[in-house]
Structure 1
């Protein structure tokens, strides 16, 4: 049983929609469950959260959602991106594996910078990230329909922004609480290499002169850890039949080490990062 859209949502709290994938698959024929065959989920929502990583200014952001499966290949959302699972799942299996490419775009400190001092330091280029994802899901842990997924994404910037590598391990637990409602919780961490840390957390002499912030040199390391939760509700009252569904999500991230100590966070922002989101999705 896979809940890739939920896992992606709670892991970033920046993608938003949910897919109640096979929540009650064991008690229904495959023909009665939209998630047991080729399907597509599309949706839209809004997020309210920090304007950049480490900011204490919040902004609203629209969030499109795309998730689905076609001939065994799954397309799952990521924060401003997509991931593909090329390993078909087996109906009723105890353990599922996933692996495939992942793509994303990062607009960190590229737009919607509310802080005048941080904006004076200069906008950064958008990063285009390409990499891979892999994970393992254990089904039916505490009840016939729940799952625990351990996974990791590894991505490289190919647009010449930070020009380095990041990776994010995460653990997601999902369980339906009724035929209409599903909940998921997620824990994760984010590791930045030296290129990423220098680009986003260092303050160069030029940036210092423009903004008044002190010069700062950042290094590689774990820069964030986080927890997230999501609740999804199917408007028809049955998760299996697709159609319209509502979702709400809450996410907390703590900036660590240079992510916390950089002047962009310590002097102009906050190491405590909260994001809330809500929206609607349609599955067919």
Structure 2
């Protein structure tokens, strides 16, 4: 679902700002096409970082908490590792030198919704949930040079199943992201996304059983799957030495909004104790070598 850990997923296009598709020379000869210089991202590389976000304490909460966000991205021998919300994705398809690039691989995440940091005492009385470990295929395509020589549009989808015995369900999360450098040292990314869930997922996170109703005072509610959320995130990245092509340190800031839909919005956990409007702000620092 679209909730607090989304900072990690939105960092991915910015950490890859100088990939072969987007890291072309900004200053070129006006008489001909600009040449792309060699960058730290042309071969094997590793980007590591840490951030902090401020967002809802659970999906549907109107109480906000601070949470850490470790970030890892790498490319080794043509295999790419990209961040995901509370997880990562491994792409086994090498990027094309020109034209669209295709992604196909495996994504995974650790979902900790209502495991800890539950600030609402009524929701807390329902009991803590177990962590879910979700894994499944991911696929996508990126189109470079859409509106200018250095931008890109990426469309992707993840389909994940819980294999840890928590919700035992699945999620499908399509997204589209537009990335463009604003100058040699600043990059921006706007992403739109949605999440669909099955009945097992919705029942685990949004149902209020009769026994929980007695314990909490909330009305009993049976949740079903469907469209779970839609959202948007805007990110800005600032290279600390003013040149994104040479790696080093960078600072990333993000602001995001998502809207819970369907039973995720109608459940008493959201409609009575929380809000369908979910906001996120965050910042992080990373280093690439």
TM-score by structure 2 length? 0.92
1:220 shift after superposition = 1.1
Aligned partners of 2:167 and 2:80: how far apart in 1?
29
In the alignment, what sits opposite 1:113?
118
1:207 shift after superposition = 1.2
1:226 shift after superposition = 0.3
Q: Does 1:228 align with 2:233?
A: yes
**Contact 2:3 2:59 (C-alpha < 8 Å) held by counterparts:** no
In the alignment, what sits opposite 1:4?
none
1:150 shift after superposition = 0.7
Aligned partners of 1:268 and 1:9: how far apart in 2?
17
In the alignment, what sits opposite 1:21?
18
Specify every segment of 5 or more residues in structure 2 that has no aligned partner in the other structure, as ranges.
26-33
Aligned partners of 1:148 and 1:9: how far apart in 2?
23
**Contact 1:149 1:172 (C-alpha < 8 Å) held by counterparts:** yes
List aligned pairs for 1:4-153, cutoff 5 A.
12-15=6-9, 17=11, 18-19=14-15, 20-22=17-19, 23-25=22-24, 27=34, 32-91=38-97, 93-153=98-158
**Contact 2:251 2:286 (C-alpha < 8 Å) held by counterparts:** yes
TM-score by structure 1 length? 0.93
Aligned residue for 2:274, secondary structure, equals coil
CA-to-aligned-CA distance 1:28-64 (integer Å, 9 cap, x gap): 556x301111100000110000000000000000110
Aligned residue for 2:41, secondary structure, equals helix
Query: Once superposed, what is the RMSD of the aligned Cα atoms?
Result: 1.8
Aligned residue for 1:113, secondary structure, equals coil
1:12 shift after superposition = 2.0
Structure with greater contact order relative to length (CA < 8 Å, sep ≥ 6)? 1
In the alignment, what sits opposite 2:28?
none
Aligned partners of 1:66 and 1:154: how far apart in 2?
21
Question: What is the aligned counterpart of 1:187 among 192, 204, 207?
Answer: 192
**Cα 1:209–1:9 shift into 2, 3 Å:** closer
1:9 shift after superposition = 11
Aligned residue for 2:96, secondary structure, equals coil
Aligned residue for 1:152, secondary structure, equals strand
Q: How many residues align?
A: 275
1:24 shift after superposition = 2.9
Q: Does 1:237 align with 2:231?
A: no
1:13 shift after superposition = 2.7
Aligned partners of 1:232 and 1:178: how far apart in 2?
11
1:209 shift after superposition = 1.5
1:223 shift after superposition = 1.0
Aligned partners of 1:255 and 1:136: how far apart in 2?
27
**Contact 2:157 2:174 (C-alpha < 8 Å) held by counterparts:** yes
**Cα 1:235–1:66 shift into 2, 3 Å:** same
